[in-house]
Amino acid sequence: MRFADQDRLRQNQDVIGFDPRGTGRSTNITCGGAIGTGDSLDPRDRSRDNLNLILDATEYAADSCQLKSGELGPLINTFQTTHDMDLLRTLLNRDTINWVGYSAGTWLGAHYAQRFPEHTGRFVLDSATEFTTTWQRSFDWQPLGFERRWREDFLPWIAQYDERYGFGTTGEQARQTYEDVRAALAEEPVELDGQTVGPNELDSAIAGMLYSKSSFPTLAENLSSLRELTGEARTSSTRMLDAVRSLVDETKSRGPQPLVVDGGVDGGVDGAAGQADDAYDASFWTIPCNEGPWHGNRTTATMQSELMGRQWPLLGWGWLIQPCIFWEGKPIELQEMDGEGVPPTLIVQSENDPATPLEGAQRAHENFAGSRMITVTDEGDHGIYAGDNPAVDRVVEDYLVDGVVPEDQSLPGAPLPTPDAPQAANG
């Protein structure tokens, strides 16, 4: 549990979690396992046939999400979930609630605060989406965010330990080594548990492990193994499979993934009736498509992914996968998000956050009246509070526990790990 070691918080607050509608032990929605169809197709292959296959797979999955989720599907949106939260507040007999929300939880928390300011206490929005705009505009910054985290944090880090990993002595050399490994997988993908693992799966696994610096040693070890094996004759197929298996398995517990990739997280609970294994991913697609405008079509998605791929190749080429351009029905309108009348909220943001880039959080802060922002410098983790930064924890808990509203400020991030550092558990 993320708050297990936050003694000051736990001594002064009741910590309550809930499964938002559509997920967990709440009534589930499902896409019938269709999300991930076409994952083995490499979006860097810009042939017309390949691009059409990717778009067809995305359309099929979008259609399946709406069909399989039935009448509940259109009711999976922020408007409904904020009312669920307020019902929970009423059942708990509280006049106001405090909130710690991470990532998409910042969107939900900010929308609750705007809709129910009279019941809003102290709201912490950690690793913030650009909640003052649309989902589309907020998501469109992700390829930049992941590329920056990859090039400015991980690649220089693995290059620092070239004697161990053999990936190159500079970040750019390390990136070129990755490109060589990726090209080898594109030429000859491997079969793993009945599924093809190629370059697109490699990119998705890398992205999933950029959320937390504690994953850097594991990611580096697996990339190093892949480098050795893709440079050999395929007589080492067993070792290759073990390396790929390790890399793919490691990313399964990394939490929310970018919209362009399968989250790899089971939304259901083992043994619970009516749970769907893909409830998490189904909700991750359904919510943005159900609310606010999402503009585009096959042509614009192809053009956008071409532009993004040239700038931010790790994930940019894959920005072709936009299920909301195929969504049927009119989305509900988003409320105006200006913060007027809302008590001061606290945004916590790392400089190189991959999934919710700094620029979006800065714009949300600027456009949400009364908000405050802690910028964590020399840091790229997604999810800061209750992690490995006591200085941030202290400011956040002064606010949550004692009601001390901070001024905008910058605080230093935690250092990157060494190769032999034990991997911290993800909260």
pLDDT, position 232: 55
Q: Are strands 372-377 and 346-350 parallel, antiparallel or unpaired?
A: parallel
Q: Are strands 190-192 and 195-197 parallel, antiparallel or unpaired?
A: antiparallel
> Do the beta carbons of residue 143 and residue 314 sit within 8 Å?
yes
Position 359, amino acid: E
Both tokens assigned to 174: 């390390």
Write the CB contacts of 262 (distance below 8 Å, at least 6 apart in sequence).
35, 36, 39, 204, 281
Consecutive sets of 10 residues in the chain, 427 residues long: mean pLDDT of each?
A: 84 94 96 94 97 98 98 98 98 97 97 98 98 98 98 98 97 97 90 77 95 96 87 55 68 43 32 74 97 97 98 97 96 98 98 98 98 98 97 98 98 96 53
pLDDT, position 246: 72
How deeply is 154 buried, as exposed, middle or buried, from its count of CB atoms within 10 A (0-12, 13-18, 19+)? buried
> Do the beta carbons of residue 332 and residue 325 sit within 8 Å?
no
Phi, psi of 149 (to 5 degrees): -60, -40
Question: Where in the chain are the domains?
Answer: 7-18+97-138+337-412, 142-251
CA-based nearest residue to 334, from 132, 141, 66: 132
Alpha helices in 92-195 (DSSP H): 104-115, 135-139, 142-148, 155-160, 162-165, 171-187
Alpha-carbon gap, residue 302 to 289, rounded angstroms: 19
pLDDT, position 193: 65
DSSP line for 13-27: S-------TBSTTSP
Alpha-carbon gap, residue 8 to 419, rounded angstroms: 32
Phi, psi of 350 (to 5 degrees): -90, 150
The DSSP code for 417 is P
Alpha-carbon gap, residue 209 to 227, rounded angstroms: 18
pLDDT, position 226: 87
Residue 125: C-alpha distances to residues 231, 364, 405 (Å): 45, 11, 14
Q: Are strands 409-412 and 372-377 parallel, antiparallel or unpaired?
A: parallel
Cα R_g (the chain), whole angstroms:
21
Phi, psi of 121 (to 5 degrees): -95, -115
pLDDT, position 251: 57
CA-based nearest residue to 42, from 50, 30, 31, 34: 50
Residue 56: C-alpha distances to residues 51, 203, 278 (Å): 9, 21, 20
Q: Per this entry, what is the length of the chain?
A: 427
CATH number of 7-18+97-138+337-412: 3.40.50.1820
> Do the beta carbons of residue 126 and residue 100 sit within 8 Å?
yes
Q: Are strands 190-192 and 346-350 parallel, antiparallel or unpaired?
A: unpaired
pLDDT, position 299: 98
> Do the beta carbons of residue 427 and residue 255 sit within 8 Å?
no
Residue with tokens 């000859």: 188
Three-class secondary structure of residue 121 per DSSP: strand
CA-based nearest residue to 142, from 130, 132, 152: 130
pLDDT, position 248: 67
The DSSP code for 316 is G
First CA to last CA distance, the chain: 6
Alpha-carbon gap, residue 417 to 415, rounded angstroms: 6
> Do the beta carbons of residue 294 and residue 135 sit within 8 Å?
yes
